[in-house]
């Protein structure tokens, strides 16, 4: 049995839109036509793919399984179109980059600028999300470049060490640690409110692992899903945090934050590029990768 890709596209659009009417609007065809197309597709594959409910439609177990393959097929189709266009030159096309939050906010701008100056005709699209979400986007073929802050356990992706990032303990200028003339003992964190990122954040995972290895358990934790918001909270005198050194230069220069050295704890982490084995990079992605690796695979950020 050969799948009809046109009908597969109709079915996929209905699932993503959540209803036949919204899918019809998205594809600029009539609702009866898209309903018939999905019925014909279900007859072709020999099973029901959608459950119709008063609130819309949702895929059956078989439909959900098919969606995963459909995303890969359509991603391959987009890659083929992009590659054919890019092979003519690197003067056009697009590149989709996923980067976990700290990388997207504080580390990638220089690479984007250098790439744009070299290939001004290429449209750049950057998605900022936590490590787990970026990995999911890469596995779903939604992005061509994936840069993350934490290790990723995935059967579909391979992680390549990209850079080394130093983590710093930060406090507000009035905090008791800020007055210390010598590095503080890491165990002093047990008496502090530690501000952490949201679950799925690479920063949170690395800090948690480093503290657990030293049997350090702060008395309280406060979860804030933004590095910028964490910096503002620390500057206002609320707790302490351990974040990327690359993220704090602005507030250090203004005197709103202070870095405190720890006597017996230094936290470094590897930043990773995620790749999908067997996937052929489009030329614009290969060109961007060359920029990423020009500085060496173990560059220091500090």
The model's confidence at residue 88, banded by pLDDT at 50, 70 and 90, is low
pLDDT at 200: 83
Architecture of the 164-269 domain: 3-Layer(aba) Sandwich (3.40)
Residue with more model confidence, 88 or 62: 62
d(CA 73, CA 5): 9
Q: Are strands 56-59 and 50-53 parallel, antiparallel or unpaired?
A: antiparallel
pLDDT at 297: 39
The model's confidence at residue 299, banded by pLDDT at 50, 70 and 90, is very low
Torsion of CA 30, 36, 37, 40, to 10 degrees: -170
DSSP state of 119: -
Per-residue pLDDT for 216 more than 80? yes
Helix, strand, or coil here: 292? helix
Single out the residue of 267, 289, 115, 144 nearest to residue 194, CA to CA: 267
d(CA 20, CA 275): 35
**pLDDT tens column, 154-178:** 888 999 999 999 999 999 999 999 9
Same topology, domains 5-73 and 74-163+270-301? Answer is no
Domain 5-73 sits in CATH at 1.10.10.10
Q: Report the CATH fold assignment for 74-163+270-301.
A: D-Maltodextrin-Binding Protein; domain 2 (3.40.190)
Helix, strand, or coil here: 165? strand
* Contact assessment for residue 19 and residue 50, using Cβ atoms and an 8 Å cutoff: no
pLDDT at 300: 43
Per-residue pLDDT for 237 more than 60? yes
């Amino acid at each position: 049995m050969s799948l009809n890709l046109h009908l597969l596209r109709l079915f996929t659009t209905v699932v993503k839109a959540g209803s036949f009417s919204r899918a019809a609007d998205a594809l600029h065809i009539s609702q009866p036509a898209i309903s018939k197309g999905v019925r014909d597709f279900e007859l072709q594959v020999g099973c029901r793919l959608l459950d119709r409910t008063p609130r819309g439609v949702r895929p059956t177990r078989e439909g959900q399984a098919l969606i995963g393959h459909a995303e890969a097929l359509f991603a391959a189709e987009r890659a083929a179109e992009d590659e054919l266009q890019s092979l003519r030159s690197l003067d056009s096309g697009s590149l989709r980059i996923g980067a976990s939050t700290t990388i997207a906010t504080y580390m990638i701008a220089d690479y984007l600028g250098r790439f744009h100056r070299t290939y001004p005709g290429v449209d750049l699209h950057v998605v900022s999300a936590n490590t787990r979400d970026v990995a999911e986007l890469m596995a779903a073929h939604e992005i061509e470049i994936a840069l993350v802050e934490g290790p990723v356990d995935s059967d579909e992706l391979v992680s390549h060490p990209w850079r080394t990032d130093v983590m710093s303990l930060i406090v507000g200028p009035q905090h008791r640690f800020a007055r210390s003339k010598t590095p503080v003992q890491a165990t002093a964190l047990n008496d502090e409110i530690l501000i952490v990122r949201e679950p799925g954040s690479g920063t949170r995972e690395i800090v948690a692992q480093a503290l657990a290895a030293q049997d350090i358990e702060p008395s309280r934790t406060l979860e804030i899903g933004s590095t910028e918001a964490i910096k503002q909270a620390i500057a206002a005198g609320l707790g302490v945090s351990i974040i990327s050194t690359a993220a704090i230069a602005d507030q250090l220069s203004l005197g709103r934050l202070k870095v405190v050295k720890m006597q017996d704890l230094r936290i470094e982490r590897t930043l990773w590029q995620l790749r999908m084995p067997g996937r052929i990079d489009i030329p614009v992605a290969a060109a961007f990768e060359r920029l990423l690796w020009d500085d060496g695979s173990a560059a220091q950020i500090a």
